[in-house]
């Protein structure tokens, strides 16, 4: 017992120390934890030698990590995902697994007779890292963009696929239809039990203890270990049970509160899991390094093929098809979980598991840099892809442009031009439609969102597909002929530019147009006027006026009237981006 406490102390100290170095050098923290584990483990300095300690630390971390992954799976979002995400996710998963199984079997990895290296690797390579992707997209403020939503939707489908694989995994060496059906039946019993209890029992209990944070936390942990133990009795695994516990808990009213309270504990045990995983990685030989590089190269190539292709075939455009493929080009921490379960079941060779871990590390670093520069990478790829014959959404509408956009197929640029289309522009068009519909005929929109392009085109509006941060797009769109140019997208959503740069570009191309820009910060207003804007909107001011009017309505007892007024404004609005 004292040895276990000493080992956990070493894990935390070195994870923190190397984590600080990773933070200051802007490297993924998961990489730091793996290095810390390797350094203090039996293949490094040998300070932690007990296999039992490593096993206990790893299993606890794994249980909590899967519990939290389950809590973050939103089943309602999957139902509302739409055909683009569903088809893209299915194409990526099925295509990745099929190509992976063939590829890894072709290079000589086992595919039967009690060894399933190729199967485990093809599944591992089909999954992407939720931790890395969400962190980078959040920092880039791209979670709410179309490529961001597609990426997150595919991640959720990958998690569900991993759950199904974990259900079948114990029976791989005796994979008969009856065995698979029994495994699925056991999972169904486990899921049904968890969902019934979380729907009809847990809400009442948590309602009673909602004001006692320590009991809420204890209740969540008790639920996690209870479902894990039920899974163990059903001949599944505690890890599988903890994942189901999290998913079932995500559907009930106190899920957000539970997630907030368990997060700190989750981070602690996830750290232990990755440190313990690092302890199991031996010093690699040339064969392990070679296999790791092959796995990493295959992951990137297969992700580009299986993610880009279905999105492109569904006419999402080159940009919206490439960005999710770049975002997803790494191996998931969930993949390491699957590899670990395969090692424990003696389904996969230690050398193969070590190579997968090294491939994870390599891709964790490379994909973080690639995602940070994804827009530059996409711009560099679009030209060559067009030259080899791939068509973008702007193909055949007035001739090929020299830039990424060109004039659309509804005639020349109109008197009013909206550069970039997000929620403010969507609301503006809806307002114009309600108050002065004839004005729509005088408006052109320039944007690279395929949903915006198709929806506006279907409504008969003049829309130009192109990247507004590209000066060639502005030139070939005919910005020089516009009378009013509106920049309604805030800086944090603009890609490759900001409002000040756009104003300068627009003013250089059209000295006489009236330019309306948007400021995120009050300090930006003067800079935008200095750049050449004629009017600058500050959305926080209109928001503040609306909120003050609500306070006045409450004080006057007229909140119902105020709400009716808002309901009237919202009724019958046909917004492109609701």
Q: How far apart are CA 2 and CA 354, in angstroms?
A: 30
DSSP H or E run through 517 = strand 514-518
Q: What local confidence, expressed as pLDDT, does residue 358 receive?
A: 85
Measure the CA–CA gap between 421 and 489, rounded to whole angstroms. Answer: 7
**Terminal-residue alpha carbon distance, the chain:** 57
Q: At what angle do helices 146-168 and 317-327 cross, to 10 degrees?
A: 40
Structure tokens at 154: 């595919």
Q: What angle do CA 459, 151, 191 make, to 5 degrees?
A: 110
Judge whether 11 and 275 are in contact, CB under 8 Å: yes
Return the ∠ at Cα 90 (arms to 88 and 92), rounded to 5°.
65
Determine the Cα–Cα distance for residues 334 and 124; give it in Å rounded to an integer: 8
CB 161 within 8 A of CB 95: no
pLDDT of residue 514: 93
What pLDDT score was predicted for residue 252?
65
| Residues whose CB is less than 8 angstroms from the CB of residue 53 and which lie 6 or more positions away in sequence, other chains included | 3, 4, 7, 8
- Tell me the C-alpha distance between 263 and 269, whole Å: 10
d(CA 236, CA 227): 11
Contact indicator for 133, 371 with CB cutoff of 8 Å? yes
- pTM over 0.75? The answer is no
Structure tokens at 285: 């030989």
Rounded-to-integer distance, Cα 212 and Cα 236, Å: 33
Residue 512 per-residue DSSP state: S
List all residues 6 or more positions away from 257 whose beta carbon is below 8 Å from its beta carbon. Answer: 210, 216
Q: Which helix (H) or strand (E) holds 256?
A: helix 255-279
* CA separation for the pair 432, 438 (Å, rounded): 9
Q: What's the per-residue H, E or C state across 411-449?
A: CCCCCEEEECCCHHHHHHHHHHHHHCHHHHHHEEEEECC
Contacts of 128 (CB under 8 A, 6+ apart): 154, 155, 158, 303, 327, 328, 329, 330, 331, 332
Could you tell me whether strands 443-447 and 484-487 are parallel, antiparallel, or unpaired per DSSP bridges? unpaired
Q: Which of 334, 337, 339, 332 is nearest to 354 (CA)?
A: 339
What is the rounded distance in angstroms from the CA atom of residue 122 to the CA atom of residue 356? 11
Please report where in the chains the tokens 């099929």 appear, as a residue: 98
HSE value, Cβ hemisphere, 13 Å, CA-based, for 57: 31
pLDDT at 399: 41
pLDDT for the residue 176: 66
Question: In terms of DSSP H, where are the helices of 73-145?
Answer: 75-79, 82-106, 117-126, 130-140
Q: What is the mean pLDDT of each run of 10 residues along the chain (578 residues)?
A: 77 89 80 84 79 70 73 62 81 92 87 80 89 76 78 82 77 69 79 81 75 75 84 76 79 66 70 77 81 93 93 88 92 82 82 87 84 86 87 61 42 85 89 88 89 86 86 84 91 82 92 92 91 91 90 92 86 76
């Amino acid at each position: 017992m004292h040895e276990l406490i000493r080992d956990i102390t070493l894990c935390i100290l070195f994870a923190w120390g190397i984590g600080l170095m990773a933070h200051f050098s802007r490297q993924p923290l998961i990489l730091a934890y793996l290095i810390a584990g390797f350094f203090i483990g039996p293949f490094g300095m040998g300070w932690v030698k007990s296999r039992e300690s490593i096993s206990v630390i790893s299993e606890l971390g794994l249980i909590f990590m899967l519990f939290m992954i389950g809590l973050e799976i939103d089943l309602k979002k999957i139902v509302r995902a739409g055909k683009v995400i569903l088809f893209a996710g299915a194409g990526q998963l099925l295509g990745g697994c099929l190509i992976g199984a063939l590829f890894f079997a072709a290079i000589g990895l086992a595919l039967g007779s009690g060894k399933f290296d190729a199967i485990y690797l093809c599944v591992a390579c089909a999954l992407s890292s939720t931790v890395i992707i969400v962190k980078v997209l959040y920092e880039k403020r791209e979670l709410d963009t179309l490529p961001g939503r597609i990426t997150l939707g595919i991640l959720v489908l990958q998690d569900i696929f991993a759950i199904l694989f974990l259900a079948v995994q114990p029976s791989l060496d005796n994979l008969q239809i009856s065995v698979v059906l029994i495994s699925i039946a056991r999972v169904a019993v486990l899921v049904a039990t968890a969902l019934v209890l979380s729907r009809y029992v847990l809400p009442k209990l948590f309602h009673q203890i909602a004001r006692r944070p320590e009991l809420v936390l204890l209740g969540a942990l008790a639920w996690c270990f209870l479902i894990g133990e039920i899974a163990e009795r059903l001949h599944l695994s505690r890890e599988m049970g903890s994942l189901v516990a999290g998913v079932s808990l995500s559907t009930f009213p106190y899920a957000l509160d539970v997630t907030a309270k368990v997060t700190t504990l989750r981070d602690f045990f996830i750290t232990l899991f990755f440190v313990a995983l690092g302890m199991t990685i031996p010093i690699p030989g040339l064969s392990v390094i070679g296999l790791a590089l092959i796995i990493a190269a295959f992951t990137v190539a297969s992700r580009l093929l299986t993610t880009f292709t279905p999105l492109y075939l569904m006419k999402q455009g080159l940009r919206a098809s490439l960005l999710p493929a770049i975002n997803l080009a790494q191996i998931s921490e969930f993949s390491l979980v699957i590899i670990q379960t395969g090692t424990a079941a003696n389904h996969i060779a230690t050398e193969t598991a070590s190579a997968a871990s090294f491939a994870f590390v390599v891709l964790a670093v490379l994909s973080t840099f690639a995602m940070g520069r994804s827009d530059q990478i996409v711009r560099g790829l679009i030209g060559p892809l067009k030259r080899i014959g791939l068509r973008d959404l702007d193909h055949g509408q007035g001739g090929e442009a020299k830039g990424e956009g060109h004039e659309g197929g509804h005639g020349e640029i109109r008197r009013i031009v909206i550069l970039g289309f997000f929620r403010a522009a969507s609301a503006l068009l809806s307002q114009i439609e309600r108050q002065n519909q004839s004005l729509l005929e005088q408006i052109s929109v320039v944007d690279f969102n395929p949903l915006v392009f198709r929806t506006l085109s279907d409504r008969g509006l003049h829309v130009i597909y192109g990247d507004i941060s590209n000066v060639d797009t502005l030139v070939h769109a005919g910005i020089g002929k516009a009378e009013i140019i509106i920049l309604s997208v805030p800086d944090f959503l603009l890609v490759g530019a900001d409002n000040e740069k756009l104003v300068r570009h627009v003013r250089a191309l059209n000295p006489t147009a009236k330019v309306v820009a948007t400021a995120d910060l009050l300090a930006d207003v003067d800079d935008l006027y200095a750049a050449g804007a004629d009017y600058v909107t500050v959305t926080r001011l209109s928001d503040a006026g609306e909120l003050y009017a609500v306070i006045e309505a409450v004080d006057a007892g007229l909140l119902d009237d105020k709400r009716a007024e808002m309901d009237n404004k919202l009724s019958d609005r046909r917004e492109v981006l609701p």
